[in-house]
Structure 1
Amino acid sequence: MAQPERIAVLGAGSWGTTFAKVLADAGNDVALWARRPQVAQEINETRRNGSYLPGIELPERLRATDDAAEAVHAAEVVVLAVPSQTLRENLAGWQPLLPPEATLVSLAKGVELSTLKRMSQVVGEVADVPMEQVAVVSGPNLAKEIAAGQPTATVVACPDEERAVALQKACFTPYFRPYTNTDMVGIEISGACKNVIALACGIAAGLGFGHNTMSSLITRGLAETTRLGVALGADPMTFAGLAGLGDLVATCSSPLSRNRTFGERLGSGETLAQAQEAAHGQVSEGVKSCSSIRQLADRHGVEMPITDVVHRVCHEGLEPGPATAELLGRERKAE
């Protein structure tokens, strides 16, 4: 399969706009769909998306539109850059517009609340396409750093290796190095769970804890993520890679991480509503995914204590201080 020449990106938030920039920098003609007409107009007239990527100049090969039909027309690849819990609703509206042979790429990282499905499963079901036509991109993907051209690596996963290689070529730039993988389960479980562990790290930071605590949460978070992934059929080695450990470290450590920042607000004493208001509409995926991941773990008999505590802090009123004490007071056992 040849490298695509025309690509649509549906969603002009920070990561959608950044990935559209990567694709354009890699030599593709990119149509970026924005929900708000004024965002599309700003991008086309000023080469900026000031709401999400202030100060970043966007390439000429990237054109924006608020018309989804125009964006996807004749596209060989359609990238879905909307939050995980709204993917189904959005995709249902776009499905009649999609070119039948296009590769559908999910950038969302989460597990759907109502069905406990991974994002690729939602895409395949709603778009009514074989799973070989669906791909995901995951890794250390802090949008502002990538948009600024800072070097990073990522993973392009697809059951069809030929499609994965074509997408790899389509987003390869001097600053963005994609690797291919066929383990969709491991890649997506890593991407969903790391947001929850980042919330835990943020809560710990808000409580005043330091690097030892963060390191412990990241390490034990990786362990419980791996347990769930393996129970679902993932390759254990995936969790040691870019989409596993790599994304986990970036998301748990950086102030650019929405989940880490959101957790820090909770740890410092803000309520869920106050933290959401302070986020100014930016979605912290882990707040909702902690519930669906916990349900998925229960379904498969997998112990995920950090995820369980984060869910209870976010949705059951558990205070962050007692939550930390509960984790530390768990039964002693071998690592």
Structure 2
Amino acid sequence: MPAEPARIDLLFVLTPRALLLDLAGPAEAFRLANQHLKHAGRPACFRLRYTAVSEALETSVGLVVNGLEPLPARFDSPTWVVLLGQPSETLAEPSRAMHATASWLGRCFAPALRDAAAGHRLLTICSGTLLAARAGLLGSHRCTTHHEMLDELRTLAPSAQVVDNRVFVVDGPIASSAGVTAGIDLALHLVAQACGDAIAASVAKDMVVYLRRTPNDPELSPMLAHRHHLHPAVHRVQDAVSEQPTRDWDMASLSAVAHVTERHLQRLFAEHAGVSPLHYLERIRLEHARQSLLRGASVTRAAEVAGFSSDLQLRRAWSRHLSGSPRDVVRSTHA
């Protein structure tokens, strides 16, 4: 589990006719992350805020959002600015409010974003990347947007490395997504980075969405692998194993959690997770052991906290699933 970060101001920047799903989808993901952190006895990570050039703006579906904050002149705490997309007909004729928002981004947020130690980030959903380009925020970073707007993005940001066919792209402090539901994928990815894989998995399950990744993302954590399904019994077992890896699990106790027979649980895991329940248990224990080793634990201690009965059992499991050995990790942490 990562160390608890400083609380992040999540600043959603609205422009006229902003796509409502670009706002609501990621915002719900971050809200649910706070809720699951609270249930785990941890402090909330995100403070959701909403800002615009005016106090009220109409969204893409005609809903008017009121009570919006003025665009801030300063960023005194780590701030993730989120730029939302707009319908194509709105993009074709940028409004005065759009130009004012781009000017504010370039004048106030661009200098803050260049301060690597401050913890600021830029998140763009769909055509929000075009607004970032107009404000001069992309530089030579890798980025993406909706597939219909890639050529326009290349025109607006000629120095940027525009990536085709990606759900989202993360390059340093710049995180961009292809649009609409891809904003949820990006939010889940960032929740995992900030709060841990288990919190992201819980949020995805609440939202009834897959935990997806793209070729641009790092290798999927074992805590998230085999969870690209919606079966509640399999999720119950995976949740229980992730929360209590040291418990003396066997097929009988796992089946009791799922409320199905052992034979049926084997079939469910094969169909929905692609592995057996005991294989999944072993991979989760290995990940807990690996994290303990990276934090400086001895092989014996790592085996104990992960639920292995001995160093030998840990080494045998390691050889089945991972390269090298536990002692290689120990040596690397002391190098």
- Normalised to the residue count of structure 2, the TM-score between the two structures is 0.32
Higher relative contact order (CA 8 A, sep 6+): 1
Question: Which protein is bigger by CA-based radius of gyration?
Answer: 2
